[in-house]
Structure 1
Amino acid sequence: MIEWLRALVLGIVQGLTEFLPVSSSGHLELTKWLFQDDSLAAESMLMTVTLHAATALATVVVFRRDIAEILQDLFRFEWNGGTKFSLLIILSMIPAAVVGVLYDDLLTALFDRQIVLVAFMLILTGLLLFLADRAKQTDKAVDWKTAILIGISQAIAILPGISRSGATISTSVLLGIDRERSARFSFLMVVPLILGKMAKDMLDGEFTDTTSAPELIIGFTAAFLTGIAACLWMIKLVKKAKLKYFAYYCFTVAAIVLLVKLAF
């Protein structure tokens, strides 16, 4: 495939699936599989980091008012809503940060063309979404206990095929958190982790690919624009309890992948 077209497709896939509850990591692996891309995870690290940077920026753009309010509260240097929310975000990051630091090599291996694993994890994602859609609506806010539990679900979602947004939003809703607050907390909690992972990769010097600048720009732009659209759409869908349709999608994709793998 023409390299710029591959970058465009990867950007669109990343932008949509980072926010929609269908697993961005799983879909990127499936996309590479469909393109017969045999590169190892380290060999495509530069493009991966670029795409994640784009979706992190998309999150900041969508939630710019929330982030501005939180920063204003923090710089008052007193206990307030912004301070509490920031500490809850930090608390929720701890499980995923620990897993990422201690099991980085194992995680890299799991992301190396493990298509059957991706299929089974998509089934798990679908089950979570289906259960969350059936949960009763409440007006509960995130507290210290639920922040840890949501953080654990985010750590598990590092596995390819388990949707991070799907896992964290589903966990929040099942714990009784208000749907809109669940989506807001889920999307904001991932930004520091993405930035931290990017910093770690750059410090470790894991970039061994030769992706050109135009490809990176195309991928970044596609992921950024589709990410904004997907984020806004996802917030509306969570509020309307429409997650079951993504569950059906996850089941369908998983079934197709498993059938193809069995046939060939």
Structure 2
Amino acid sequence: MDVIQAIIIGIVQGLTEFLPISSSAHLVFITNILGVQESLAFDTMLHLASLVAVVSYFRKDLLHMVRSFLSSLKDLPRGEFKKGIQEDPFKRLAWLILFGTIPAGLMGLLFKDFFESLFTNLLAVGFFLIVTGLLLWGSERVSTGDRSVKDMGLKTSLIIGIAQGCAIAPGISRSGATISAGLFLGLERELAARYSFLLSIPIIIAAGLIQVQEIGSVLDNNAAAFIAGFIASAVAAYLAIKLLLKIIKERSLMMFAYYCWIVGLLTIIFSILY
């Protein structure tokens, strides 16, 4: 992999990590188009770049959440935990993200090998892209957008967490599945997107820690390409977050549903013919 290829892959991964069109599917496409062999180490670098982007974008919210989370722990011995969670939206959000991460973690441990085996199956990738489109379409049809953070509970966080876990499948967009789940549950549109982005942080950290050893073994041989891809992915991911938050506030997600349907159908046709 040369520097130009790494930059192209980084941009594609960064954009599709947070736009609801499935980064896993597009990484399959772009690596095949460029004739580049998939690399677990490079994939880890790109996900860490996404982490840098989302942490940078939501740094103020995250700082508030960390402080509020620590404060809520102090509330436990005083018997004020429930009251604090009800009154402080950042305390509530921090705990909701913690609980919402559990389903994806369990599903990753149980089904990771099965879903990873589908990454070379273009028919499966195309099918799951169509599923992503249906989720986006359906959520836009039924969304009420009237529930705020104070209306979110454990059930809501777990359902959205399960949706995140389903994104292990190539073609199921993590952001698409979680945002759609939030909209199905009636969350305010911007809240559904913000919660989706924040919910990605623990999972990306966990995946990075598991795979971080892979990075050191290859950095010495291809450092320039890896660094270039990392920077390109981080910048693209940051812009994707900013763009999607603007779109979800001002417009519909249907454009992404149509995109997933078209690309998914073309992928299925290609897999059958070739």
Same fold (TM over 0.5): yes
Residue 93 (structure 1) aligns with = 101
TM-score, structure 2 normalization:
0.88
What TM-score results when the alignment is normalised by the length of structure 1?
Answer: 0.91
Cα deviation digits, residues 161-192 of structure 1 (max 9, x gap)? 00000000001001111111111110001111
CA contact (8 A) 2:41 2:211 kept: no
Q: Is residue 120 from structure 1 mapped to residue 127 from structure 2 by the alignment?
A: yes
Amino acid at match of 2:134: L
Task: Give the secondary-structure state (helix, strand or coil) at the position aligned to 1:131.
Answer: helix
CA distance in 2, matches of 1:179, 1:145: 18
SS of the aligned residue for 1:110 comes to coil
After TM superposition, give the deviation of residue 197 of structure 1 in Å. 0.9
Unaligned runs of 5+ in 2: 76-80
RMSD, aligned CA: 1.9
* Inter-partner Cα distance in structure 1 for 2:215 and 2:104: 20
Residue 136 and residue 68 in structure 1: after superposition, are their counterparts in 2 closer, same or farther (change >3 A)?
Answer: same
| 1:200 CA drift (Å) | 1.3
1:211-250 matches, cutoff 5 A: 212-250=222-260
The answer to whether residue 266 in structure 2 is matched with residue 256 in structure 1 is: yes
For residues 151-170 of structure 1, the aligned pairs below 5 Å read 151-170=161-180
- Displacement of 1:206 in angstroms is 8.8
The one-letter amino acid paired with 1:144 is: L
| Deviation sequence 1:89-128 (CA, Å, 0-9, x none) | 11111111012123333233223x2222111100000011
**1:110-152 C-alpha deviation (Å, 9 max, x unpaired):** 23x2222111100000011111222343321322111111011
**Partner AA of 2:205 in structure 1:** L
Whole-Å separation in 2 of the counterparts to 1:239 and 1:97? 30
Q: What is residue 70 of structure 2 aligned with on the other side?
A: 75
**Conserved? CA contact 1:96–1:154, under 8 Å:** yes
**1:207 shift after superposition:** 7.8
* More divergent stretch after superposition (218-227 vs 72-81): 72-81
Q: Measure the CA separation in 2 of the matches of 1:206 and 1:68.
A: 28
1:55 partnered with 2:55: no
Give the partner amino acid of 2:154.
W
Q: 1:104 aligns with which of 96, 103, 112?
A: 112
Unaligned runs of at least 5 residues, structure 1:
none
Q: What is the number of equivalent residue pairs in this alignment?
A: 257
Query: Distance between the aligned counterparts of 1:247 and 1:133, measured in 2?
Result: 10
Contact 1:132 1:243 in 2 (8 A): no
Rg larger for: 2
**Which structure has more helix as a fraction of its residues?**
2
